[in-house]
Amino acid sequence: MALDKILIVDDNPDIREVISVLLRSEDYRIEEAENGKIAIEKLFDEENAFDMMILDIMMPEMNGVEVCRKVREKSQIPILFLTAKSQDKDMVEAYTSGGDDFLVKPFSHTELVLKVASLLRRHKQYDVPGGKESENTKKLSDNVMVDIKKRLVYKEDKRINLTDKEFDILQYFMDHRGDIVQNRDLYEDVWGEKYLPSGSNTIMVHILNLRKKLEEDVNKPKIIQTVWGKGYRIE
């Protein structure tokens, strides 16, 4: 069985060395990159196949957040951010750019090893494996999969960013798959408020946004279908 391969990206050679030695002692294969540009080149090299990335936030030229956004255009490997700061702003940027977890320097060796093992295990168990359904991943169409447990949506194996409300709506449709969902039921169950006529406009806006993200053609939706005069349905 091949050992997991991890790319360590940090402009500080001492930190790269410490992490490399530590993770090699845990039987991981390690490669290093001293900046974001080199990291992108390594990751997008077809001869390389990484299982995870450990990524420093504060780097010259291209910071970790920018690197993460670039990586997420082509890959969903787990990304563990490292930073010398513990401010909420850093955590928000790390997660919104597509990061999976966050570790503040200086960190304990035990905590690093545990986080790495946890992220790799979750990735293997729950991330979409070539479009196959499992207990946690459900197929919406030939190219759209939903990870219910992690609340993630993939289109053509690329992660699609949904708001919490958009995911709540999508999950409600999936829970009532094949049924016609009326506006009143959708609004009262998802928004948790009494339905008023103005709620229809709110629903329409959210459905339109979902279709823009999920459908091949917004004007001819195949996933979230309109049942005229009655509501919506996912087959």
Residue 156 included in any domain: yes
> Is residue 146 one of the residues assigned to a domain?
yes
34 within 8 A of 16, measured Cβ to Cβ? yes
Residue 9 and residue 67 in contact, taking contact as beta carbons nearer than 8 Å: yes
Rg of the chain over Cα atoms, rounded to whole angstroms, equals 21
Q: 150 and 116: one domain?
A: no
Please report, for the domain that includes residue 167, its CATH number: 1.10.10.10
The residue out of 100, 126, 152 marking a domain boundary is 126
State the chain's mean pLDDT as an integer. 86
Give how many domains the chain has, as a whole number.
2
Q: Tell whether 111 is covered by a domain.
A: yes
Which of the listed residues 70, 102, 126 is the one where a domain comes to its end? 126
What is the extent of the structural domain holding 86? 5-126
Give the per-residue pLDDT at 87. 64
Question: pLDDT tens digit string along 9-55?
Answer: 999 999 999 999 999 999 999 999 999 999 999 988 877 789 999 99
| Domain assignment present for 87 | yes
81 shares a domain with 28: yes
Average pLDDT score over residue span 53-78: 88
Q: Give the model's confidence band at 88: pLDDT under 50 very low, under 70 low, under 90 confident, else very high.
A: low
Question: Confidence class of residue 212 from pLDDT cuts 50, 70 and 90?
Answer: very high
Indicate whether 131 belongs to any domain: no
Most confident of 118-127, 148-157, 189-198: 189-198
Residues 115 and 186 in one domain: no
* 122 shares a domain with 141: no
Mean pLDDT of 221-231: 91
Percent of the chain with pLDDT over 90: 44
CB count in 10 Å sphere of residue 70: 19
Tell me if 159 sits within 8 A of 137, measured CB to CB. no
96 and 147 belong to one structural domain: no
Question: Residue 154 and residue 57: Cα distance in Å, rounded?
Answer: 25
pLDDT for 203: 92
More confident site: 94 or 60: 60
Residue closest to 38 by CA, chosen among 15, 60, 14:
60
105 and 211 in a common domain: no
80 belongs to a structural domain: yes
Q: Last residue of a domain, which of 126, 150, 174?
A: 126
Provide the 3-class DSSP secondary structure of residue 140.
Answer: strand
Q: Are residues 161 and 197 in the same domain?
A: yes
- CATH number, domain with residue 32: 3.40.50.2300
The whole-number average pLDDT for the span 69-83 is: 87
Written as six digits, the tokens of 10 are 């940090």
Q: Answer yes or no: are the C-beta atoms of 200 and 183 closer than 8 Å.
A: yes
Average pLDDT rounded to a whole number, residues 172-185: 92
* 142 plus 41 within the same structural domain: no
**Is residue 128 pLDDT above 50, yes or no?**
no
170 lies in some domain: yes
Quote the crossing angle between the two packed helices 183-190 and 199-214, to the nearest 10°.
90
Residue 191 counted as domain residue: yes
